[in-house]
A and B are shown apart, each in its own frame.
Chain A
Amino acid sequence: MPDDDIRVGVDIGGTFTDVALAHPGGIATAKILTDYTAPEQAILDGMTLAAREAGVALGAIVQVIHGTTLVTNALIERQGAKTAFITTEGFRDVIEMRSENRFEQYDLNLELPKPLVPRQHRFTLPERIAADGTVLRPLDARDVTAMVDAIRDGGFDAVAIGLIHAYANDAHEQQMAQALQAAAPDLALSISSVISPQMRELPRFNTVIANAYVQPLVAAYLGRLVTRLGEIGVGAPVFMLHSGGGLISVETAAAQPVRLLESGPAGGAIFAADYARAHGLTQVLSFDMGGTTAKICLIEDGRPKTASAFEVARTYRFKKGSGMTVSTPVVEMVEIGAGGGSIASIDQMGRLQVGPRSAGSAPGPACYGRGGKEPTVTDANLLLGRLDPDSFAGGHIALYPEKATQAADRLQLSAQDAAFGITELVDENMANAARVHAVENGRDIEHYTMVAFGGGAPLHACRLCEKLGISALIIPPGAGVGSALGFLKAPFSFEAARGLFQRLDAFEPATVNAAVSEMAAEANAFVDAGARGVERTTKLTAMMRYAGQGWEIPVILPHRAFTAEDIAMIQAAFETAYRTLFGRVIDGLAVEITNWRVTVSTKLPPVAPAERFDSGAEVAAIGTRRFFDTALRQTVDAREVPREALKPGLRVDGPAIIVETDTSTIVTSAFSAIGQGDGCLRLIRKEPAR
């Protein structure tokens, strides 16, 4: 894509629809309230505003890149199509029985989330495929015909088919699908061996059902969007950002909408990854803090870390296990209920607690004066002097410190203690989540650089670094529309996956080579839809484990034809990956491969390296503010500096507050901030961390 092309990224979030338009003169942005009844309207309005600001014609746009939380919302709010599920006899209740555990140990009144498809809409076929793909019980054509009738009589808009071991042999799923297609061509149809051909029935069934459930809605929305764009003169192709952080065509997205679930947050991770590359950083922790939640993601070698499954629509305080696990490629993120709106309360033991309940944007924090009575993180930041009541959000939102004080009084602590406790606890919660995430990935977080964005991040990032032992932090410019900007940096990519169970000592190169070629061809075809002829990379991942273990680890292997001689190389690659994660290997145990993944991505253009400064002349302060430095447990005199004054190579030592229209960056006493060539702030610990 030439640099002077006009491209636009659009992110529909829960509150705002963000537009970022890249043009030869720079970037124009717009922020519009999300319109739930006609989401495409906010896109049209935002694009029109941004194009006007940039002084370009809408017809000059050559590419529209879109990501949205609408798919996730449809799942959370159960607003999808009337869906039928067809499965193997004896397995009607897999999605209702879930993992048979309780995600909260001590709650006697725990309720489990309801399945997307109620039991009376789940149908079974007398058939069975074995683990090795052989047919144990053939599927009789008469049973297929009877099923077609049952589905037709049920008045369904969408059908999902998920049969046991269909990843190993899709014949019965195909037989059923073809019969349905012939009889009811208008029915939205999703089959598990296409949508998620991987071992483990619960996530595979969840995934194919979620896909069917949202498909009519998403297809209709995307169709409307393309039409309406055409009407206002935007004839450019529309591409969607998928959860794995790459672009797919709008047609692919309409057929496999389950791939879009995390597209907005993935954009944020790509935004951070782009700065990681520009600054030559191989190990980055991205930290995105908004009004309700904080998201944390590891970025290694310039790419966000991905996973093959995640949990969507958590119903209970963001708690692990309270949602629905779907297996689709995703940028791996930890999301916790910690944001500016997070509410503080006192528990049964008189202990202060923060979040996950949030005051959101309505009524919002108490200090907004819009009726919020409970103390929030934003109220605490105001009381600690970290926010300027007179110039919050560029002076557009007035803040009322006395209302924050009144709210803090409800905690029966002094305002100072309450505010200190609230911010310290919310920072603890975020730091703890980041540490556990690092441990789960076998990583040592101290050596990472943090890239912080989102409205709340610059207020908290420095303290978070202190808690995590991180000594360098980057705060990019334009962080308010980070996801939409990230969309513009995303490659075209597609990940194909296959369940193919083998013990390494019985490795069959021919079978694996055939499956890998098939996956590569599938992935390339999807990438061709948006980027025909563009140079690309292919990544091959084997999911491997010791025999008897429950979970696999990803092992990256060279993408080439294998021979029997490669067993030793694959074993060595597995052991290296295992040692990285767990610190040791176990001799004498057999090794298994369960699933394969092939990811094809277009090569990213090289990023212009940012001009980096480690120190520089001190910039003059425009004033002095006092804020509470948590690590020192005392209020300090801080230099106040406007962000635009921190030109490349200029420095301010903490304690300092760097102010800009949307937010403020707190530089604690332990850090210095230095302006960088690309407009980033770089915060460096004054002395090396202990």
Chain B
Amino acid sequence: MKPPTGIDYQIMWNRLIAVVEEQATTLIRTAFSTSVREAGDLSAGLFDEDGRMMAQAVTGTPGHVNAMAESVTHFAARFGPQETFDGDVFVTNDPWHGTGHLHDFTMVTPVFRNGRHIGYFASTAHVVDIGGRGFGPDGQEVFEEGLLIPITKFADRGEVHPLLIELIRANVRTPDQSVGDLYSLAACNAAGERRLHAMMDEFGIDDLAGLSEFILETSRDATRAAIAQVPDGVYRNTMEVDGYDAPVRMAVTLTIAGAHLTADFAGTSGPSRFGVNVPEVYTRAYACYGLKCAIAPLVPNNTGSLEPFDITAPAGSILAAKRPAPVSTRHVLGHLVPDVILGALHQALPGVVPAEGASSLWNVQISARASDPDSGLPGREILMFNSGGTGARPAHDGLSATAFPSGVSTMSVEATEHVGPIVVWRKDLRAGSGGAGAQRGGLGQVIEIEARAGYDLYVNAMFERVAHPARGRAGGGPGAAGRVELSDGTPLKSKGRQKVANGQRLRLSLPGGGGHGDPKARARDAVARDIAAGFISAQTAKTEYGYDE
């Protein structure tokens, strides 16, 4: 067989993306966690022998996708060549070595060919339960948030560690499902491994070195070339958001010099006492995602395309939390990171960047408990993912009730009502919530939830943009702020566990996205369409859009 040519490398690159896609599909099909199966909260990828990511499934959500890229280097550092064997599978859910909170397990399988270690497959999934307080922001140290498994061997030369399994089973509420998900992760890596060997047989290669070099270099060059297109300069932005019990200031300085980009979150608030802190790896993941969308969206994700984005946050700040800070709901602030950094980039690239959006997912975690503990009615846990509006784009309206930057999906209300004793009375667009602009911000939504007979509800609130709505850009107005209340208007806190007694209705009004450009410049037929659809009132059309027909 001849040595591979440039075209061969391209074909193999293409194939690798299919291989990791197959790896991800295997995980989605077999996982227990609702957020993996229904919402795509996972990641899967192939790494070279130095732990550099070569390919990653496009399925998945950015927080996992980019964080996992860093994770494998920690594994490679922990287990050197002398301790890495064929049949090994490594594992961790350490927030600082994985993807930012205990619910996410990362599994890494070293790949051997002809007795030689040539690379790794890695995958990440959000498990149903990891013990502790459960998924919510109320813990004050990571120790309260559940069981932490440091980087260790799940399987040693093909033998699964029985003690590890027993330990996990004894510490979580859903032993079968949480352990089942670990086996799913191991199985999906194994599926990737089989396909990789088949490809290497077909192309007659025995290691990944040449291919990795080709992929990383091509991607690095393309990313650097794209960065070089961005005007040089130092761009700053700050954004204030709700936090748990005190406002949080997020600040960034973005420096572009030729093909080099650095982003520093210096000036960002210190840590919270509660679980909304973000490990730096997760901050980097979302910052990088936001930048990549705007600068080099078409370059596939790998170490080569991520490396040119040099992103740091001051150690100990809320965006680079240190042990043992609580981090369970690190997504709440993590999802807002792209808004901060895109606000800085907007100064360099006006006409590319959207306005701020609702951004932070409104995950509704509900525990339904019998009002009368002696009634014998079983308790149930319900998790719903819901999204507000995205920011308006320079040439398009924002998307209503759509996740950005997260990549997850919502679940069917009918299916949710079969999971637990609740009635969702309303899940509908929130009229008037999109920020005014030449391009209108996306609308939020309104959700009303009530317990069925015999139950009370306990809500783990983790909702953002209640006190600090999404700002518009380039003259656009802000999106509507979020509201957390009972349907009779009684306000509730936006963070923390609260009771909604039987007979009361929880009402969540999700934030809208900011507008882009002067509302007076909005196309008149677009204003007319918004009025007809009821997205804005005739009054708003008149006062904000200057529309009178």
Contacts and interface: CB of A to CB of B under 8 A. Distances in A.
A92 B419 CA distance: 23
B533 A118 contact: yes
A90 B201 contact: no
Interface string A429-465: 1001001100110100000000000000000000000
B536 to A, nearest CB: 12
A128 interface: yes
A101 B413 contact: no
A199 B418 contact: yes
Given A546-B32, A586-B180, A90 B386 contact: no
Contacts of A581: 29
A165 interface: yes
A106 B428 contact: no
Interface in B12-44: 13-15, 18, 21-22, 25-26, 29-30, 32, 34, 37-38, 40
B387 A100 contact: yes
Contacts of B11: 421, 424-425, 428
A182 interface: no
Given A200-B412, A589-B177, A350 B218 contact: yes
Given A91-B427, A101-B409, A102-B407, A436 B18 contact: yes
Contact of A351 (B25, B218, B401): B218
Interface in B221-261: 221-222, 226
Interface stretch (A40-48, A107-115, A229-237, A481-489): A107-115
B118 interface: no
B418 A501 contact: yes
B414 A131 contact: yes
Interface residues on B, range: 35 or more
B396 A111 contact: yes
A37 interface: no
A424 B34 contact: no
Contacts of B25: 436, 439-440
A100 B293 contact: no
Contacts of A429: 14
Contacts of B201: 690
B7 A352 contact: yes
B533 A587 contact: no
A133 B516 CA distance: 45
Given A90-B425, A97-B400, A548-B32, A106 B292 contact: yes
Contacts of A633: 2
A99 interface: yes
Interface stretch (B101-109, B294-302, B365-373): B294-302
Contacts of B542: none
Contacts of B183: 584
B428 A351 contact: no
B7 A200 contact: no
B414 A96 contact: no
Contacts of A131: 414, 417-418
A158 to B, nearest CB: 20
Contacts of A417: 5, 7
B481 to A, nearest CB: 20
Interface in A577-625: 581-584, 586-589, 594
Interface string A389-426: 00000000000000000000000010001001100110
Contact of B403 (A90, A100, A119): A100
A112 B403 CA distance: 12
A467 B18 CA distance: 13
A512 B26 CA distance: 33
B376 to A, nearest CB: 15
B423 A128 contact: yes
Nearest to B177: A548
Contacts of A92: 428-429
B298 A106 contact: yes
A93 interface: yes
A509 interface: no
B176 A588 contact: yes
A348 B7 CA distance: 16
A424 B8 CA distance: 9
Given A131-B417, A501-B418, A548-B34, A440 B58 contact: no
Interface in B189-242: 191, 195, 198, 201-202, 218-219, 221-222, 226
A548 B354 CA distance: 37
A349 B396 contact: no
A493 B201 CA distance: 46
Given A165-B414, A424-B11, A101 B402 contact: yes
A589 B176 CA distance: 8
Q: Is the interface of A mostly helix, strand, loop or mixed?
A: loop
B538 interface: no
Contacts of A366: none
B402 A439 contact: no
Contacts of B312: none
Contacts of A106: 292-293, 297-298
A91 B448 CA distance: 11
A100 B399 CA distance: 9
Given A130-B452, A548-B34, A201 B22 contact: no
Nearest to B128: A548
B431 to A, nearest CB: 10
B393 interface: yes
A511 interface: no
Interface in A494-552: 501, 546, 548-551
B446 to A, nearest CB: 9
Most chain A CB inside 10 Å of its own CB: which residue of B26, B292, B412, B448: B412
B534 interface: yes
Interface in B29-83: 29-30, 32, 34, 37-38, 40, 58, 62
A100 B534 contact: no
A347 interface: yes
B395 interface: yes
B10 A421 contact: yes
Contacts of B413: 91, 164, 201
A105 B407 contact: yes
A590 to B, nearest CB: 11
A96 B400 contact: yes
Contacts of A589: 176-177
B458 interface: no
B459 to A, nearest CB: 19
A97 B445 contact: yes
Contacts of A109: 393, 395-396
A371 to B, nearest CB: 28
A550 B18 contact: no
Contacts of B385: 100
A440 B226 CA distance: 36
Given A90-B448, A550-B34, A101 B403 contact: yes
Given A108-B297, A108-B352, A432-B18, A583 B415 contact: no
A106 B298 CA distance: 8
B395 A428 contact: no
A107 to B, nearest CB: 6
B37 A551 contact: yes
7 contacts: A90-B427, A109-B396, A119-B534, A199-B415, A546-B32, A548-B128, A549-B32
Interface of A: 89-94, 96-97, 99-102, 105-112, 118-120, 128, 130-131, 136, 164-165, 199-202, 347-352, 413, 417, 420-421, 424-425, 428-429, 432, 435-436, 439-440, 442, 467, 469, 501, 546, 548-551, 581-584, 586-589, 594, 633, 690
Given A90-B424, A469-B198, A549-B32, 12 more contacts: A100-B385, A100-B387, A101-B409, A109-B393, A199-B415, A349-B298, A425-B10, A435-B18, A439-B26, A548-B32, A582-B29, A588-B176
